[in-house]
């Protein structure tokens, strides 16, 4: 979610503040480790600097005399690799330290596995738009 928010805002402060106001209270309410919750928000907020469209990349392109498209192409793969590494870290924590990343209680889960709902169409649209913007 932090990576998607970073991609939509392009500004670190907006991303971190939004994630902090939206996600942090919920994560703490359900027993997530305070250090992990704040670290995930801070780390995902910094993705706004590298995931296109990023204001930092636009300014950097101007200063280097390069095209913004070149900067976006160069930052696309590293940005999503970093997102994947962040997600992998949290997944590994969920396996090895489940008390830090507890599962939501059944009453807090809004999408059931048997409901037939999937986030795949939305993910596909976001991926196509991001790839199209970087080309």
Q: What is the mean pLDDT of residues 41-58?
A: 84
> How many domains does one find in the chain?
1
Of the listed ranges 53-57, 60-64, 70-74, the least confidently predicted one is 53-57
Q: How far apart are CA 21 and CA 4, in angstroms?
A: 16
Find out whether 86 and 19 touch, Cβ atoms under 8 Å: no
The reported pTM is: 0.67
The pLDDT score that the predictor gives to residue 17 is 86
Note the pLDDT tens digit of each residue in 15-34. Answer: 888 888 888 998 898 889 99
Q: Show the domain range for 45.
A: 2-134
Note the pLDDT tens digit of each residue in 101-130. Answer: 888 777 766 765 555 556 678 778 888 888
Q: How far apart are CA 127 and CA 82, in angstroms?
A: 16
């Amino acid at each position: 979610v932090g990576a998607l928010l970073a991609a939509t805002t392009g500004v670190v402060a907006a991303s971190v503040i939004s994630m902090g106001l939206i996600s942090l209270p919920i994560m703490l309410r359900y027993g997530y480790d305070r250090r992990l919750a704040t670290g995930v928000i801070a780390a995902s907020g910094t993705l706004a600097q590298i995931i296109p469209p990023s204001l930092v990349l636009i300014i950097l392109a101007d200063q280097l005399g390069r095209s913004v498209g070149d900067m976006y192409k160069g930052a696309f793969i590293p940005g999503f690799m970093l997102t994947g590494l962040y997600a992998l870290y949290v997944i590994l924590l969920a396996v090895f330290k489940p008390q830090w990343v507890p599962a939501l209680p059944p009453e807090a889960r809004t999408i059931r596995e048997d409901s037939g709902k999937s986030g795949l169409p939305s993910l596909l649209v976001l991926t196509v738009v991001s790839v199209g913007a970087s080309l």
